[in-house]
Structures are given as C-alpha cells and as structure tokens.
Amino acid sequence: MTSSARPSNTTLVLLASLYCAQGLPSGLVAHSLPVLLRQHGVDLALIGLLKLLALPWLLKVLWAPWIDRIGSRRLGHHRGWILPLQGTVILCLASLALIAPQALFESAFWLLLGTLLIINLAAASQDVATDGLAVRLLPERWRGLGNSLQVGGYKVGMLASGSGLLLVIGGLGWNLSIGLLAGALLLLTLPIILFPEKRLLPQHAEQSEPAGPGLLWHHYKGLLAQPGMLAWLAVVLTFKLGDALGSPMIKPMLVDQGWTTTDLGQLTLISSLAGIGGALLGGLLYARLGALRSLLIFGALQALGIAGMALLVGRGADTELVYAISLFEQIADGMSTVALFAVMMRMCRPEHEGADFTLQASAQILLAGLVGACSGVLAKVVGYQMLFVSAGVLAVCMLMLLPWFFVRHLSAERVSTVQS
C-alpha cells in the first residue's frame, strides 16, 4: 500500500481483532492458570512449567521465513495462514471447555500442557502472518496508529482472559468460562474471514530464495545485508534496556512496603488500561511527529517514568504518588513501544515483512529478558533507589544512538520518509 491516506475503519478493526485474539491465550496462560492450578493443589514446580509454554513466541523466528514464503492462492497469502491457525486455537479452547477441571488439573495435567503448547505455537505463528499483513496494509505515516492497535489489542485480550476470567470463573465455572473464551475468539475471527485480501493486496511475487532447508539462512542473511540494518538492530536491542532493567523490580519493591496482592492487582489493572491509552496516544502523535522525534520524546518519557520509581522507595504508603508515577510510567511505555514497532515495520523488506519484523522483535525481547533477569541481583547489591535511577540513566544514554543512526545510516530518501 503506497498511499499515505489514513487506513479505513475496516482495516483498523481487522488489525485490532487479530492482535486481541493473540492476547486471549497469552492472558490465560500467564495470569489465570497459575492461580487456578494452585487453587486445585497443583505442585509449584509443575506450575512453573507454564513458563516453557512461551517458547514458541521466542522461537517463531526459526519458521517465520516459511510463513512469508508459502501462502494460499485461494484464501490470500496472509488469510491462508491466519484462518487455520486461529481455528486451531478455537478448537483447542473448545476441547478444554468440554473437560472437567478436576481431570485437567490432576490426571490429565500433561494433556492440558500439551494443548496449551499447541495453542501458543498457533498463536505465535499467527503473529508472524498478522505482522506481515499489518506492514502491507499500513502506510508509513499511519504505522504508529497500527501499532497502537497491536499493543492495545494484545493488552485488552490479556486483560479479558487474565483478570476478566478470574472475575467470572467463580460464578460461571471452568467449562462455561473457557467456552465463552473460545466464543470470543470465534467472534474476533469474523473480520479476517470477511477480509477480501486477494482483491485489496497483490499476490506475493516469486522470491529468489528457495523454499527448502536453506531458506532460514538466506532470508536473514539478506535482511542483515541491508544498508544500516546492523546499526538499526543495535537501536532495537538498546532502546528499552532501561525499562527492562527497572520494571521487574517495581512490584517486589511495593510488596516490601506492605502492598497486598489485592492492592497490586488493582494497580496492575488500572495501569494496564493507562498503558493502552498511552499506546493509542503514541500512535496518533507518531503520525504528526515522525519517527525520530517520536522515538526521542517517547523514549525520554519512558526514562523519566522508570527513574521516577526511585521516588517511591520508602513512600509506599503514599497511594496517590504510587498511582501517579505508575500510570505515567505505563503511558510512556505504551507510547515508546508503539514508536519502536512502527520504525521496525519501516525496516522490513517487501515480501519479507512477517519474518523481518519477527527477527527484530525476537532480538529485542531476548536481550530485554536477559537484562531483566539481572535486575534482582542489582537491586540486592545497590538497593531499589539506585536501581531505578541507574535504569533511567541507561535509558537516556541509549537514546543517543538514535540521531547517529538516522543521520548516518539511512539514505537521504529513507530519512525524508521516516521524518515525514
């Protein structure tokens, strides 16, 4: 799509529905199931295995090139992947809804884990096709708005199957609650069923890379050979390092200051809603500010938010201050994430959009995870206050890479495009 006109409402609803559909199984695994399993007396070591179910989201980079390369001529390239993958998730959830929770959580626990692994595998693969579709549908100027829908839609899905499911499951029971989750996912599938991809988007051109075992190497070698791509990956890897270092310690700090699980649950819900609002605001501002200014301004706000957490050390009883800083940090996080994802889309090659975006996202998540894993050790050594200040300083230092990259490593044509 080469026009800079605002995407149609139909396109925005389509993308929002697809990203929300991804959040539904993620919220179930990450937030609801650990609580439900523990209530049924499942061993903590087995509950910990749920973390392994997220591996497909990290490993999807290994099969993403085939999703870009192989498609259905009858359904359309992206619909040919999204429809069967989303259908797989619906069938898995419907199957779980037919089994008594006592059996799933006890004698059939490994069946539950296997089904959840299939769900995550399908959802992660759907994400590759959806990202590729989003890049093709959204003009450069409006990719910020498109990524607002990505961040916001995913969080809405997680809230619905996380906090929402825990709120209703006591009254409705496991079977009806999971059945409603499957029904919601079926409803979210309607926009892609009705989407006329073959009429609106041209078929993928024949690619030079063979679709055999060597495709993985040839695909990413071609991406990394693009002018400025290695420098851009340095930006992707470092842009949110400050947030990755500081954010894992926010809740432990509040727990140490007497916050209960109920208090934290309410804070998480409200701050998540603020993050969705921040993502929407960031997308709208991106269209006006352009890529470089959006990254600099939103990144600076994110650094200020994470550093501001240092003000809460020893002041956990000041609920208004905790909420003010937490909401600001989440709004800034939503804005900065949207700006980063929008430029990541800009760096994708035509006909390779899904896998190119996936590689950038996976690299960012992997390094952020490694840095986050060190946050507890650093907090123990230097204390919460110094940790948050250091995280803010790190975030500001990483922003210095941005002007260097935009001026030195993008061609004049690309600079004029991303700053317009």
The answer to whether residue 209 sits within a structural domain is no
Q: What is the mean pLDDT of residues 229-246?
A: 89
185 shares its domain with 300: no
The answer to whether residue 203 sits within a structural domain is no
The answer to whether residue 274 sits within a structural domain is yes
The answer to whether residue 17 sits within a structural domain is yes
pLDDT tens sequence across 56-113: 888 898 888 888 878 667 777 788 899 999 999 999 999 999 998 888 887 888 898 8
pLDDT tens sequence across 166-219: 888 888 898 999 999 999 999 999 999 998 877 766 665 555 555 566 777 778
39-43, 144-148, 272-276, 282-286: range with lowest mean pLDDT: 39-43
Tokens 């994110």 locate to: 302
Q: Where are the beta strands (DSSP E) in 182-311?
A: none
Instruction: Using pLDDT thresholds of 50, 70 and 90, give the confidence band for residue 322.
Output: very high
- Inter-residue contact 125 to 85 (CB < 8 Å): yes
pLDDT tens sequence across 280-296: 999 889 888 888 899 99
408 shares its domain with 315: yes
10 Å CB burial of residue 1 (0-12, 13-18, 19+) is middle
* pLDDT at residue 204 in the model: 56
pTM here is 0.80
151 shares its domain with 222: no
For residue 192, the domain's CATH number is: 1.20.1250.20
pLDDT-above-70 percentage for the chain? 91
On average, the pLDDT of the chain sits at 84
Print the domain residue range for 277: 215-420
Domain closes at, from 196, 231, 254: 196
The answer to whether residue 4 sits within a structural domain is yes
Instruction: Using pLDDT thresholds of 50, 70 and 90, give the confidence band for residue 2.
Output: very low
Q: What is the CA radius of gyration of the chain?
A: 21
Tally of structural domains, the chain: 2
Domain closes at, from 196, 227, 244: 196
62 shares its domain with 107: yes
**N-term to C-term CA, the chain:** 17
413 shares its domain with 266: yes
Q: Three-state SS for 129?
A: helix
Between 65 and 6, whose confidence is greater? 65
pLDDT tens sequence across 26-48: 888 877 888 788 777 877 777 77
157 shares its domain with 269: no
227 shares its domain with 190: no
Which residues neighbour 411 within 8 Å (Cβ) at sequence distance 6 or greater? 227
* pLDDT at residue 269 in the model: 83
Report the alpha-carbon distance of residue 222 to residue 166 in Å, rounded.
Answer: 46
* pLDDT at residue 358 in the model: 87
177 shares its domain with 315: no
φ/ψ region of 290 (left if φ > 0, alpha if ψ in -120 to 50, else beta) reads left
- Inter-residue contact 305 to 325 (CB < 8 Å): yes
